[in-house]
């Protein structure tokens, strides 16, 4: 998972991970969100490597929660900076969609 240095484009997995974290989730819940919405699963190694990068970029934060006072679990949540990154990606994807729609529609005439 990464952002293209040249274009700022996010990988599909990065985008889905950020979208998953508009509400706090632990790793397994993120994996379920991605599989449900993308239709393809993600490996734990890929996810946790990506989470490490997202934390480093300050696009997400780690929050610890208590579960039944016996153990702690790590949950993650998108930051305001992460939300800005998602909004930029949405704008980029809308431009691509608009161009693709125009070209493919013109091809039908």
Rg (CA), the chain: 17
Would you state the pLDDT for residue 104? Answer: 86
pLDDT in tens, 57-86: 999 999 976 555 566 678 999 999 999 999
Would you state the pLDDT for residue 69? Answer: 58
pLDDT in tens, 26-68: 999 999 999 999 988 899 999 999 999 999 999 999 997 655 5
CA distance 1 to 82: 14
Q: Specify the CATH architecture of the domain 12-106.
A: Orthogonal Bundle (1.10)
CA distance 1 to 12: 8
Whole-angstrom CA distances from 52 to 26, 78, 93 are 13, 13, 25
Q: Where are the domains of the chain?
A: 12-106
CA distance 26 to 77: 9
What's the predicted TM-score (pTM) here?
A: 0.84
Does 14 score more than 90 pLDDT?
Answer: yes
């Amino acid at each position: 998972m990464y952002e293209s240095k040249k274009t700022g484009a996010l990988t599909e997995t990065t985008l889905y991970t950020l979208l998953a974290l508009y509400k706090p989730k632990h790793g397994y819940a993120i994996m379920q969100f991605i599989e449900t919405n993308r239709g393809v699963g993600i490996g734990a190694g890929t996810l946790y490597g990506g989470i490490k990068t997202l934390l480093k970029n300050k696009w997400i934060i780690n929050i610890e929660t208590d579960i039944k006072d016996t153990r702690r679990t790590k949950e993650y949540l998108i930051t305001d900076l992460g939300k800005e990154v998602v909004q930029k990606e949405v704008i980029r994807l809308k431009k691509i969609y608009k161009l693709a729609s125009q070209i493919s529609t013109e091809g039908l005439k």
